[in-house]
A = this chain, B = another copy of it.
């Protein structure tokens, strides 16, 4: 079982990495880009038979407490 946490800067927060990638794509000659956001991706391998709800609660807490900075970042947790 795998859990994925995707952490992205909030829309209102300046994203210089995203802006840089956007400019790089334009320099490459590709024009179809409206905006780019760069974030972090955390993939967690869970032991077989892990309880999905316990995992969700624990990982949600971890994402909120130390994986993301809730002032400037949003996170999304997916368990599959």
Contacts and interface: CB of A to CB of B under 8 A. Distances in A.
B41 A39 contact: yes
Q: How many copies does the complex hold?
A: 2
B30 A62 contact: yes
Nearest to A3: B33
Interface of A: 6-8, 18, 21, 24-25, 28, 30-47, 50-51, 54-55, 58-59, 61-62, 65-67
Contacts of A67: 21
Given A21-B67, A66-B24, A58 B38 contact: no
Nearest to A66: B24
Nearest to A49: B32
A21 B18 CA distance: 24
